[in-house]
């Protein structure tokens, strides 16, 4: 079983912060078993947000280019998801959501998530990204204006 992450254009290395593989069962309202999941590194469960997670090995997380989505191809993520499904056979796939997140919170600065936006680092990254975009737009605008002005002077 391979995890399907959809399409991701040119993933790049994501380093510097701990990341977690998360299985969220927000839509499931019955009790959930976690028996075999506690063996994973820094296993954590959050009853309020109805999710379980563990820390991925460093260097096994990538970020999709032109997006802030994180993904991993590390086999422990697959094993974690399959162990979760074995412990809870009644929970069907439509009730489960899985993703990779920054250890500080969900790392999606531009798309808010109703279940949690707690990462100050995501907000800082968005500010930096918008600052860089603003610089590019300003430089491009000045270059376009200069091109038009020199074009007018050439014709005269």
Asked if residue 141 has pLDDT above 60, the reply is yes
Contact 56, 21 (CB under 8 A): yes
pLDDT > 70: what percent of the chain?
74
Q: For 79-96, what is the mean pLDDT?
A: 88
Instruction: Count CA atoms within 13 Å of residue 101 on its CB side.
Output: 25
The pLDDT mean for the chain works out to 77
Return the higher-pLDDT residue of 17 and 79.
79
Secondary structure (3-state) at 16: coil
Asked if residue 45 has pLDDT above 80, the reply is yes
pLDDT of residue 16: 63
CA 121 to chain centre: 13
Tens of pLDDT, residues 96-130: 888 888 776 544 444 443 344 444 455 555 666 67
Asked if residue 14 has pLDDT above 50, the reply is yes
pLDDT of residue 74: 86
Tens of pLDDT, residues 48-70: 888 888 888 888 888 887 777 78
Instruction: Count CA atoms within 13 Å of residue 1 on its CB side.
Output: 10
Contact 123, 111 (CB under 8 A): no
Per-residue buried b or exposed e for 24-41, using 16+ beta carbons within 10 Å of the residue's own CB: bbeebeeebeeeebeebe
pLDDT of residue 15: 63
Contact 59, 12 (CB under 8 A): no
Secondary structure (DSSP) of 120-133:
HHHHHHHHHHHHHH
Tell which residue, 2, 21, 113, 91, has the closest CA to residue 62. Answer: 21
């Amino acid at each position: 079983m391979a995890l399907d992450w959809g399409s991701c254009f040119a993933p790049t290395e994501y380093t510097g912060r701990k990341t977690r593989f998360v299985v969220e069962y927000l839509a499931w309202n019955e009790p959930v078993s976690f028996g075999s999941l506690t063996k994973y590194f820094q296993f954590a469960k959050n009853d309020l947000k109805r999710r379980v997670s563990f820390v991925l090995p460093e260097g096994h997380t990538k970020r999709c280019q032109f997006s802030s989505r994180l993904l991993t191809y590390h086999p422990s993520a697959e094993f974690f998801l399959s162990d979760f499904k074995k412990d809870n056979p009644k929970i069907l796939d439509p009730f489960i959501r899985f993703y990779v997140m920054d250890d500080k919170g969900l790392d999606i600065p531009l798309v808010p998530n109703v279940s949690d936006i707690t990462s100050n680092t995501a907000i800082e990254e968005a500010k930096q990204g918008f600052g860089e975009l603003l610089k590019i737009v300003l430089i491009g605008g000045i270059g376009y204006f200069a091109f038009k002005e020199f074009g007018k002077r050439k014709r005269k």
